[in-house]
A and B are shown apart, each in its own frame.
Chain A
Amino acid sequence: MPLLRVIFALLISAALWGNVPARGDEVSRFADDVLPLLASKCLSCHGPDQQDGELRLDSLSAARAGGARGPAVVPGDPGKSLLVQAISFGNPDLQMPPKQKLSQREIDLLVDWIRAGAIWPEPPVVLFEEDVSFPGRLTQGNGTARLVTEAPYSGRVSLEITPLQRDAASIPGWHFPIREHPGTGEYRFLRLAWKKRGGGSVMLELASQGKWPAADNPKGRYVAGPNTTGWSAISVGAQAPTEWSVQTFDLWKDMGEFTLTGCAPTCDGGTAAYFDAMLLGPSLASLDAYRPHLLDFDGATPLDWPGDAFTDARNPIRKLFRGERLDLWSLKPPGQTNFSIPGDRQNSRQSEPDSEEPHESRMIDDFVVRRLEAAGLAASPAADRRTIIRRLTFDLTGLPPTPEEVAAFLADSTPNAYALLVDRLLASPRYGEQQARAWLDVVRYADTQGYERDEFRPLAWQYRDYVVRSFNSDKPFDQFVREQLAGDEMVPSPPRTLAEADALIATGFLRLGQWDSTASIFQEEDRLRAEILADLTNTTASAFLGMTMSCCQCHDHKYDPLSQADHYRMQAFFSGFVPSDDVVIELAQDLEGIKRHNASVDAKLEPLRAEEARLQASAEQHKEQIESLKREMVVIESEKQSPRLAMGGRDSGPVAPPTYVLYQGDFQSPREEVQPGFVSVLSPGPAPILPPHEQTTGRRLALAQWIASPENPWTARVIVNRIWQQHFGTGLVATPNDLGYTGAPPTHPELLDWLATRFVAEGWSIKKLHRWIVHSATYRQASRVARESSPGEVVESGNALLWRQNMRRLDAETIRDSLLSVSGLLRDDASGKPVWPEVPADLLNAQPAILEALEGKDGGRMQGWYTDPVEQTDVRSLFLVRKRCLPIPFLQVFDLPDTTVSCARRDTTVVAPQALTLLNSPEGIRCAEAFARRVAACLGQLEMSQPDSRRQATVVAFRLALTRDPGATEIQLADDLLRRHFDQYRQEGREQPAFQSLFDLCRGVLNLNEFVYVD
């Protein structure tokens, strides 16, 4: 600990020794000579870090109590003070400091100090000196509060207030009892320096227990100068001082006993009032001993921090990378883009009439067409209506349209048909499920812990359902971000409304990473904590900011303007977070009900308990009675209710453990300590943090507000790009988790920025964003084009310029959901705890931890697999359990992402096991059979010997599965299959030969490319 920091700590820490009246020169001697001497020569071995011989010399009480050998300091009696013996080097066994004897002057100083009574006043509380967050703590008032560097009274800044005042009646952390004889943690005197510019008066108002004094009561206000506020005040001078003037107020004398909770620095008239060095002490000596020039202001002064790398040559990132890396496109806020808004291009639009088309959709088209024209290309014609309803329904709900929906849309020729379709899909509960599926990829959601035991997290689903609800209700995205990072810092606990409960559930986001429950067995908690913090940092950066923080965990970023310290500055926001599996989300009013109910149950139990106690006295004779009594009590006990809980967490308190830069990312090699801070390229200082209440650090809320702010250059772009990707398969930035140099540059930078700006201006509404995109002609283009008419294919086969739509393969969950939907098996009422489908037994047996559970030896840790009856498993895949160590094979084979890191975009690989799964798996066969039954039911009489009925079976199967009619060749192919298979089965004497052949056809149809690809 550096010397200055030690003294700083001593000057402001709460003292253990009481109030000693002292002469001024004694106080000065202590503060100016004794304390610095103790700090430089003694405290490194006898201070907060180390206590050799069990001795501390950092407070009078500790020095009096002494160490293993006895009291070090006996006030007034140097002869009995072991400290004096040690520094005099009289006793060869006790010589301190051991390496070099103090000078005679220093020895005399300490001896004289002890002889004079060892004056050591209690340190004052520094209410304001260099506190960057102080202006922000004054949350009310119509004046402004800011820190200024010009001529402060002490330190490097003072507080400037413009008329009339800034105030807060309850400042977090302010709870100072004012007493005549202050004990520990109690105070009496307030001292400050103030001055006034431009005439008028300067005033300080004090709040007692959250309340301001009445207007006509002067007690609680001090004023210098002519008071024109209309509030009565104690005058301490006829004129306001124009130079710094120090005032000391005896609060107890003026106001009696009270608790100081807030203040209002006031500027009555003139231009500004200035305040500095506001102290609160138990005694005048305590205030006198304050030495602001000794304070260590490192990390405390806001105004001395360099600015962003673009404007300030002192910016650490600018220095580190020698001014390079600053041309990264995503560093510049989208709102700063000078859009060259394209003109109106009536002729470029090729879609059908769309009476409800938003202005934004037209803008999207104009941005896209402009780039196409520059490349000598034209947009493709609009897709046909059958294609468009299929595409749109999959994109917005993750399910195929039903034949009814297709028929209705095909039959509706009114100009608002498309708008109605879009509105219906956005209003469908299935929309939120589809949107949640995409978000859960980004936050690497799973229902289990991972690692060796991979225990079930019984409440993780609350977060999943929260995400579904949030999208369905179109919660503003900025709020969605804030809730996930800091919901617990935003709402009270227990919550008062369902919306507040949701904010608490949202903190489940902070819990979604892996957790190694066995780490503690092998003393690897430190390793685990380091991993979890890094993982949370990396995921937060990827998910919300499209930033690759994982790249600078071990060293400075190789490409982007991020330093290694940036990674740990971001980690520090999470440092105080502690997980909790029992976050109460029952509403406060209902908790009362539960409490009352449980009390009534206890009341019922009371006589039974008494009865049991009576019987126990002669237990031998009443065995049976006792047993039956116990059974009865268990039944009654079970009537008790418990509040609803969620998986989330909160901060451990107002102080977070320190965060260090880790050399090469190694948790055992901590280097310099860092404070929570945003990326240094923009804001190298510590983040301004305002704890919302006393039980939390406020750090995550500060991060959340920075991320979810319109000024953040990344947040809106990242989510707009993710949504765009949902509709085109590829984002405007092809790498949604990486907006850095190694990520893809935006194909349409102006469009991205314009959309991001509109998105924020329109209240961060995801549904609006969807509407703008899907109403655009760009979205509604055909994906396939005849070769001869598409110069784009030659010029730009990658389709980055969007001269057509992209054909896309359905993702794993959508394939399964489509199978269930088309076969009529899908249950669309799911929510709540996840469903466990059957998986092959040998996969369960392959997992030691699952085996342990199957044998009932997992100690209730739920590390097994809990198969539900098959009928209950026909829910959307979103509601199936995501077990980290055993992904459901049917989904895994279709590129289900790993749940370890954020997944920005699904792979769509084509491998043989996918074919085997769709063809041969029990799920594939079961859906094909149900599908065949559904087709058969539509046909009524199942007859395969007639070409007409075979044709009808084909038509129905195609309409249900592919939402279209079969072509002539397809009818022929199907006819051939049905006829041959039917004949074969009949010859073999199989039961239901007609159905069996239809079953084969349906199996074939569900394996078609067209079933899993969308035009």
Chain B
Amino acid sequence: MNAESLVSHDTWRGTSPDVGGRRNFLTRFGAGFAGVALGSLLADELRAESAGGIAIDPLHPLQARVSHFAPRAKQVIFLFQYGGPATFDLMDYKPELVKLNGQPVPETFKQHADKVGGVFNHCKDELMSGPWKWARHGACGHWFSDLLPHTARHADELCIVRSMVSDSSNHAPATYLMNTGAILGGRPSLGSWITYGLGSLNQNLPGYVLLYQVGGLGGSANWSNGFLPAAFQGTQFRHEGSPVLNLSPPAEFLQSQRSTLDFAQAVNRLHAADRPGVLDLEGRIASYELAYRMQSEAIDIGEIERETESTQRAYGLHDEDAAKAKYGRMCLLSRRLIEKGVRFVQIYNAVDKLGWDGHDKNTDYNRRNAAQTDQPVAALLADLKQRGLLDSTLVIWAGEFGRTPMKQGNEGRNHNPYGFNIWLAGGGVRAGSSIGTTDDIGLRAEEHPQPVKNLHATILTALGLAPDELFHEHQGRQERLTGVAQSWKVIPGVLA
């Protein structure tokens, strides 16, 4: 359209809202939205939502909600160990494996039918124990190898589950399983379910925050909200630069931002006043204000330079190992986020695409990953404890599966979903204990094998959520993190 017709008036007569029904907009605008009709509408909306699961206030989806029963912990930090750490090199001491180093696998271990891919494929018929030195730590006497000297100092805080099993020996499905409860990607993640169930403690920040340099294999499906509302999606907090994507405008708009926003919001209010009862319009106006507040609060969290020198040093922020310094930043940021009331924080350990996935040089991978993560993780536990946050924060350390005691390639280990260790600490956890065992070479869970859904049920229970009650009606089915009702068990002995 040429400029002339766009600025001429004739054909546009009658399209201005002044001609329509915009009467008394100022009185409506002034009266706010606490009217009776709106109140009842809101109640309708809430009823509609609660019929399908948890009642969500559409204007304040992250509002803190009452748990099903008294919680042991209020917040969660999930230290995801990407790639599949060989936990019998770290904390699951196997003297028999040390003894059999270099020897073929005894026949007795070969007589199991494997649920998914055969665990002996691609491995040599040779056991490998690694060059680690082992010692007991703490009053509880947990074994640790010399790969984790810092974590070992917190032995008495940890409850180690030694008999985890996964349903896939493949990264993406197993990572999906650990994060979403299903090997097929696309379902809501653990953090989404928890924020859906409990909301968050700070309305100016996302309830579910992710920190990563390199995320898990399988990508964003690992922190997807699936069929849950988008408010429960994992939001990445970047540990450098602007902490949240698009948090701030380009520099030249910083100054005018508020004024531009004020214009838009004023027009929005006129528009909403003409359309009484459309909740989304109010919600969207509120979301712009939240975005504005988030800007300052999130930037504030990102300013870790404000931490004391000794704290920064404890987390390894100034370490010459750049990867360790990055992981330290993420651990420190997670404490700051917890402090600000974020419900669920998840950190991916990998600083490159390798993680713990030591197919060929597992010994090197162990050394590198342990060196990067051990000190920051220990500092996080100490820091939380010192600030009185550990009692109310559940800390989880887990990978998607373990590795084989058999050698692969020169000095590597293959994936092993049939038995691996994880640990939990903090709120509600029976500290200084362990549950279950793997067999003598660390190959398969032996006593009390625990599927991943049991871990999820345990985490939900620690937070005061009943796994079968935490559901969302989707396409005709009550969907749950833990699947079919009563198909799970809380791992006995984990919760105090």
* A interface residues (Cβ-Cβ under 8 A, vs B): 384, 386, 402-404, 406-407, 410-411, 450-452, 454, 514, 516, 518-519, 521-524, 527, 531, 535, 542, 548, 550-551, 554, 559-560, 668, 735, 737-738, 740-743, 783-784, 786-787, 793-794, 797-798, 807, 809, 840, 842-843, 845-849, 851-852, 884-887, 889, 892-893, 895, 898-901, 904, 907-917, 919-921, 924-925, 937-940, 952, 955-956, 959-960, 963-970, 973-974, 976-977, 980-981, 984, 1000-1001, 1003-1005, 1007-1010, 1012-1013, 1015
Contacts and interface: CB of A to CB of B under 8 A. Distances in A.
A1007 B253 CA distance: 15
A451 B172 contact: yes
A846 B234 CA distance: 14
B348 to A, nearest CB: 8
A486 B166 CA distance: 37
Interface residues of B, number: 111
Nearest to B187: A900
A523 B12 contact: no
B3 A938 contact: yes
B490 interface: no
Contacts of B17: 964, 967, 970
Contact of A938 (B7, B21, B118): B7
B91 to A, nearest CB: 25
B202 interface: no
Nearest to A852: B353
A956 B219 contact: no
Given A522-B116, A916-B244, A551 B353 contact: no
B116 to A, nearest CB: 6
A919 B17 CA distance: 25
Which of B21, B236, B263, B275: most chain A Cβ within 10 A?
Answer: B263
B113 to A, nearest CB: 9
Contacts of A898: 186, 221, 224, 226-227
Contacts of B82: 848
Contacts of B216: 848
B275 to A, nearest CB: 5
Contact of A967 (B22, B168, B214): B22
A410 B3 CA distance: 18
9 contacts: A514-B184, A742-B476, A742-B477, A784-B274, A798-B44, A884-B219, A898-B226, A919-B246, A1008-B264
Contact of B37 (A794, A893, A960, A1003): A794
A514 B185 contact: yes
A451 B175 CA distance: 10
Contacts of A915: 284, 287-288, 290-291
B268 interface: yes
A809 B283 CA distance: 12
Contacts of A895: 230
A946 to B, nearest CB: 14
B30 interface: no
B473 A742 contact: yes
Nearest to A798: B44
A422 to B, nearest CB: 20
Contacts of A974: 263
Contacts of B353: 848-849, 851-852
A900 B479 CA distance: 15
Nearest to A960: B6
B215 A847 contact: yes
A919 B246 CA distance: 8
B162 interface: no
A1012 B283 CA distance: 13
Given A407-B5, A843-B236, A885-B218, 4 more contacts: A411-B11, A911-B230, A960-B6, A984-B256
Contact of A1008 (B249, B259, B268, B283): B268
B229 A1009 contact: no
B14 interface: yes
A1012 to B, nearest CB: 8
Interface string B163-178: 0000011111100000
A743 B474 CA distance: 9
B229 A981 contact: no
Contacts of B118: 523
Interface string B20-35: 1110010000000000
Nearest to B52: A742
Contacts of B256: 981, 984, 1000
A452 B215 contact: no
A458 B87 CA distance: 40
A920 B254 CA distance: 10
Contacts of A981: 256, 259
B16 A1013 contact: no
A884 B221 contact: yes
A968 B18 contact: yes
A738 B476 contact: yes
A964 B16 contact: yes
Contacts of A980: 259
Given A450-B185, A909-B230, A967-B17, A847 B219 contact: yes
Contacts of B432: none
Given A550-B477, A895-B230, A898-B186, A797 B277 contact: yes
Given A784-B274, A960-B6, A1000-B256, A909 B263 contact: no
Contacts of A518: 170-172
B475 A542 contact: yes
Contacts of A548: 475-477
Interface core residue of A743, A913, A1001 (most chain B CB under 10 Å): A913
A852 B171 CA distance: 15
Given A411-B11, A535-B184, A973 B291 contact: no
B230 A845 contact: no
B214 A452 contact: no
B396 interface: no
A531 B183 CA distance: 10
B484 A554 contact: yes
Nearest to A923: B246
B173 A516 contact: yes
B218 A523 contact: no
A977 B259 contact: yes
B6 A938 contact: yes
A938 B12 CA distance: 16
B272 interface: yes
B220 interface: yes
Given A404-B1, A524-B117, A920-B246, A913 B229 contact: no
